[in-house]
Chains A and B, each alone.
Chain A
């Protein structure tokens, strides 16, 4: 039990570290983070022409 829980936690930490490294090395203009939620992420500019698919679900 102890080994399983510790392995799970270490796996979570390593995954987080890899994801952070990937984001930091991506030559994107802006890297956005979003909520852990089923709610769609509004990543489009609200002043832009697109409504980002609002109301489609």
Chain B
């Protein structure tokens, strides 16, 4: 009986594996067909990588014990899985970055400031996560898996922060829950939560194929179907954003825009008089006359000006 349950569960896993590849390809095709590659290239790359790596994993798994020796097959499976996982985590960070950029597009100043903060926060988080994986006594594949797991956990937390931000700022940004920006964020958020819960599950059940894989397979198929639907359906236009003139958002946006401006320069000394046009010299002469005294003698002013120049 238990053998029967195991076999049916494993068959279900293989079906879910094929479905996942198909859903990835479908979502990627819809994304390209709707000409959204420029805005969502990171998501497109993520889907392409996931479809490719899953295909290789399914093939290796299928060939294990028949064409390829089981231990060798496990070696290939192990490295393809974890390397593709690391690349997917990096791409997920780029998706989060892209979604934030798109969401903040109307407020250019805050967008620039937010992206700068995001880059620093992501950079420091990734450095700390990877650094914490390199503990004494841990090396080889264990270190690789630890580093990728830490990177993925960091990415999941950043993604959940972005999802919270997009959800609560969706209306002030002129978006709606039918927007692709929200759809992509929600899908990523569900994936991140599932990853974190799964990481807690794996502490107690480190088996290759466990019950959680079935949950995983269903969750990822739901996410991919949701993304396909969001890209296939027409996106509602962004509403006009109206802010009161006293809005702190508006004020901070103006301040942030001014922060990036290149400053003007003032010549304070060592300027030869040949640099100035005669008209400029005349303006300066008159200005200096006014600055020295309200009614100075003309000859004295001229002398002062020549000394100054």
Contact = CB atoms under 8 A, between A and B. Distances in A.
What is the size category of the interface that chain A forms with chain B? 35 or more
A34 B195 contact: yes
Given A36-B220, A42-B208, A12 B190 contact: yes
Main secondary structure of the interface of A (DSSP, over half): loop
Main secondary structure of the interface of B (DSSP, over half): helix
Contacts, number: 190
B213 A40 contact: yes
Interface stretch (B8-16, B94-102, B104-112, B239-247): B8-16
B164 interface: yes
Contacts of B78: 42, 46
B307 interface: no
Contacts of A56: 10, 208-209
Interface string A14-57: 01100110110010101111111111111111110001111111
A53 to B, nearest CB: 4
A36 B65 contact: no
Interface stretch (B117-125, B152-160, B254-262): B152-160
Contacts of B81: 35, 39, 41-42
A33 B152 contact: yes
Contact of A28 (B163, B190, B203): B203
Nearest to A4: B177
Given A53-B209, A55-B61, A20 B153 contact: yes
A33 B202 contact: yes
Contacts of B13: 38, 40, 57
B213 A38 contact: yes
A41 B163 CA distance: 27
Given A23-B196, A40-B213, A47-B140, A53 B145 contact: no
Given A5-B177, A42-B77, A57 B11 contact: yes
Contacts of A37: 17, 20, 50, 54, 216-217, 220
Given A9-B167, A20-B196, A38-B214, A32 B206 contact: yes
A39 B153 CA distance: 19
Contacts of A16: 156-157, 160, 192-193, 196-197
State the 6 A-B residue pairs at the shortest beta-carbon distance, nearest first.
A38-B217, A55-B64, A57-B10, A38-B16, A19-B196, A33-B199
Interface of A: 1-2, 5-6, 9-10, 12-13, 15-16, 19-20, 22-23, 26, 28, 30-47, 51-57
26 contacts: A9-B167, A9-B186, A12-B189, A16-B160, A16-B193, A16-B196, A23-B196, A23-B200, A30-B142, A31-B203, A34-B199, A35-B81, A36-B223, A37-B50, A37-B217, A42-B77, A43-B206, A44-B208, A46-B75, A47-B140, A51-B64, A51-B74, A52-B74, A53-B209, A55-B62, A56-B209
